[in-house]
Amino acid sequence: MGQRPLTDFATMKARALLIYLAMIPGPHSRDELAHLLWSDMPDRQAKKNLRNTLPNLKALVGPHLMITRHALALNRDHACEVDVEQFCAALNAPQTSTDLEGLRDATALYRDDFLSGFYVREAHAFEDWGTIEREHLRTIAIEGLLTLVEHALEQGVYELGLEATRRLLTLDPWRETAHQHRMRLLAYTGQRGAALAQYETCRQVMLEELGVEPLADTTELYEQIKEGSLPLPPPKAMMVSSPRGSVDVDWSDFPKRAPFYGRGDELATLRHWLLEEQACLVGLFGIGGQGKSALAAEVAWSLIDEPYTKPKPHGSSLANGAFDRILWRSLVNAPPFETMVSGWLAFLTGDETARAQGHIDDQLSALFEHLRQQRCLLVLDDVDRILRPESETHPVDKGYEQLIEQMGQRVHRSSLLLVSRDCPKVLDTEEASATDMRRLQLRGLTVEAGLQLIQLYGLDVASEAADLLIERYSGHPLALKLVIQAAQTFFADDPGAFFADLTDNLLILDDLRHVIDQQLAVLLPLERSLLIRLAATGCEPVTFQTLWGSFGGDQPLLKSAVLEALSRLRRWSLLETSDRGFSLQPIMTAYVKQYLQESPDKGAPEALSP
């Protein structure tokens, strides 16, 4: 703290609590944290232990810790740096083949495995989370080092490539492509004997650990080095960078391009709205883990790739709808509106010292002046973080609300793409579709896209089992990824048997539970009550009259409150609606049954009979 190490933790669980709050920004309910660290205890005792831990943590970190009656959070308004965040941000930033120094510095931030040697007794949920996070960060480091090696080979910076392969093989000694790269680098630097020895090291590792011989490509490379017939290295690339097309992109928060599967129809729809219809406000909504950010990122990247023709103020051709500039901002840490607008103005004006001045109205006027002069695509991700109900830990920032509303009211040439679990009221009306505002509710992957995901992860399972898995999880991408990884880790010999166990009981793994926990943390008691009642019916639709009647009253006030609560649940993508009534997705039904009714102090009502 302030360059001073924190050593006076009363318990290991106090240290673990601070680590968790630092790793995952935003508020965390006391229920969530109590389960995380004392999952083997009754809820009442777990919460008591959490309360007893807080004074020690508050004494150590002071104003950095925000505590309310219901939630805890790390206060990011105070100076706070998390090395894991710096590492992920550095490697998720767009990398060019010429930015070797940036890649080297980014991978150097990974000094050891996450929480290496750190163990907390009787905290199984924390250990499970740490294991998943450790593997995730290790994968990012490995991919970053592989990219660094490949770029070093392209540019002829062989010593840097050799150092990167050394680190890469320390992390992943079974990665055969890394052995190939190191053999080639050693040969290019005149170390023929060391290159041949590297092949023998590769062969020994593959035989001892995997019981297989090296790939034919590796053996062929060995023979070329041995015979002196290895082709000459490619000429060193010139250290210059070139812009992608003529679209000016603010890369500061821009997400890295990731493998994209399925969602072709949704991608085409969003591109049509932005390019052909030039919609001023577009919303992309869905439950957490549904792949909203990944789809929005692919949309943005596809617009960067778009053959560019100077936009015109009017017209409907694809070229005329192209953008001058694209700006992406993540609101996961809910930055103040003034901070966000200042960053946009600095980019749009080319003046790094530009700052938003005056009242919110003045700041918006300055922004819209540029949105009229240039055709810009503004992307706001994690918008639900600033749409939450006003509370002590999350005061509503009126600037964002006014920006969203005024995008549909002012005259300008730009578009705002919102990515959120929650749909703002301005887009939740029939009138919105009659204007130049559009919204897309993202559903689960199709069976075909789900099969692509399973194949991407290399899971060998019968097609019937794969189809059943996708159907049971309603094509939810995050749930499918976590279940696939669990099957590969713990049931590698027979993943089909593992999937068969999911026929009746869906597995809600901790990462998915955390995502849903965050979304449900803001619900009011009546909204939680409605979820519990709907979950009791499985996934069968329930009419409003049945739901209302389950409360045992006919007061107009109660009826109005239930209607309002259902409306909020629908805007939060937690509710499915049809002609037959209201229902929950299978994942939400399983979550509610397994977790939402665990704590009697939440006042859960009697559930409806199925």
End-to-end alpha-carbon separation of the chain, Å? Answer: 54
Q: What is the Cα–Cα distance from 426 to 420, expressed in whole angstroms?
A: 14
pLDDT given for residue 328 in this prediction: 94
Lowest mean pLDDT among 333-347, 470-484, 501-515, 526-540: 501-515
Q: Would the pLDDT of 2 be above 60?
A: no
DSSP, collapsed to helix, strand or coil, labels residue 325 as: strand
pLDDT given for residue 427 in this prediction: 87
Q: Would the pLDDT of 374 be above 50?
A: yes
pLDDT given for residue 555 in this prediction: 65
Q: What domains, with CATH codes, occur in the chain?
A: 12-74 (1.10.10), 83-227 (1.25.40.10), 248-441 (3.40.50.300), 456-507 (no CATH), 512-602 (1.10.10.10)
Q: Give the H/E segment covering residue 281.
A: strand 281-285
Lowest mean pLDDT among 5-14, 322-331, 571-580: 5-14
The b/e string for 162-190 (b: 16+ C-beta within 10 A; e otherwise) is bbbbebbbeebeebbbbbbbbbbbbbbee
Q: Would the pLDDT of 407 be above 90?
A: yes
Mean pLDDT of 284-299: 92
pLDDT given for residue 610 in this prediction: 32
pLDDT given for residue 189 in this prediction: 81
Are 47 and 30 in contact, with CB atoms under 8 Å apart?
yes
Percent of the chain, pLDDT > 90? 24
Mean pLDDT of 89-100: 66
Lowest mean pLDDT among 62-71, 79-88, 315-324: 315-324
Are 585 and 474 in contact, with CB atoms under 8 Å apart?
yes
Q: What is the Cα–Cα distance from 348 to 381, expressed in whole angstroms?
A: 19
- Burial (0-12, 13-18, 19+ Cβ within 10 Å), 68: middle
pTM above 0.85, yes or no: no
| Phi, psi for residue 42 in degrees, rounded to 5 | -60, 150
Q: What is the Cα–Cα distance from 161 to 149, expressed in whole angstroms?
A: 5
CA 132 to chain centre: 14
pLDDT given for residue 439 in this prediction: 93
Mean pLDDT of 407-411: 89
Reference 596, options 532, 542, 504; nearest CA is 532
Lowest mean pLDDT among 3-7, 124-128, 252-256, 544-548: 3-7
pLDDT given for residue 389 in this prediction: 55
pLDDT band, residue 553 (cuts 50/70/90): low
Which residue is associated with the tokens 């990974």? 110
pLDDT given for residue 601 in this prediction: 42
- Burial (0-12, 13-18, 19+ Cβ within 10 Å), 5: exposed
Reference 290, options 133, 481, 111; nearest CA is 481
Upper half-sphere CA count for residue 605 (Cβ side, 13 Å): 20
Are 336 and 398 in contact, with CB atoms under 8 Å apart?
no
Of residues 242 and 308, the one with the higher pLDDT is 308
Q: Would the pLDDT of 230 be above 90?
A: no
Q: What is the Cα–Cα distance from 532 to 529, expressed in whole angstroms?
A: 5
pLDDT given for residue 180 in this prediction: 94
pLDDT given for residue 314 in this prediction: 39
Of residues 414 and 232, the one with the higher pLDDT is 414
Q: Would the pLDDT of 273 be above 90?
A: yes
* CA dist 290 → 118, 263, 494, 570 (Å): 32, 11, 27, 15
* Structure confidence by residue, pLDDT tens digits, 470-522: 888 888 888 888 888 887 777 766 776 676 666 556 777 777 888 888 778 77
* Structure confidence by residue, pLDDT tens digits, 166-180: 999 999 999 999 999
pLDDT given for residue 380 in this prediction: 96
pLDDT given for residue 228 in this prediction: 82
Are 496 and 461 in contact, with CB atoms under 8 Å apart?
yes
Reference 478, options 521, 509, 500; nearest CA is 509
pLDDT band, residue 562 (cuts 50/70/90): confident
Q: Would the pLDDT of 111 be above 60?
A: yes
pLDDT band, residue 417 (cuts 50/70/90): very high
Please write down the HEC assignment for all residues of 476-541.
Answer: CHHHHHHHHHHHHHHCCCCHHHHHHCCCCCCCCCHHHHHHHHHHHCCCCHHHHHHHHHHHCCCCCC
Q: Would the pLDDT of 203 be above 90?
A: yes
pLDDT given for residue 93 in this prediction: 66
Strands 248-250 and 281-285: unpaired
Reference 218, options 239, 200, 245, 240; nearest CA is 200
DSSP 340-384: HHHHHHHHHHT-TT----SSHHHHHHHHHHHHHHS-EEEEEE-TH
Strands, sheet with 325-330, edge to edge from the N-terminal-most edge strand: 248-250, 325-330, 376-381, 415-420, 281-285, 437-441
**Average pLDDT score, the chain:** 81
DSSP, collapsed to helix, strand or coil, labels residue 92 as: helix
Mean pLDDT of 143-148: 91
Of residues 103 and 377, the one with the higher pLDDT is 377
Q: What is the Cα–Cα distance from 123 to 177, expressed in whole angstroms?
A: 38
DSSP, collapsed to helix, strand or coil, labels residue 284 as: strand
pLDDT given for residue 357 in this prediction: 79
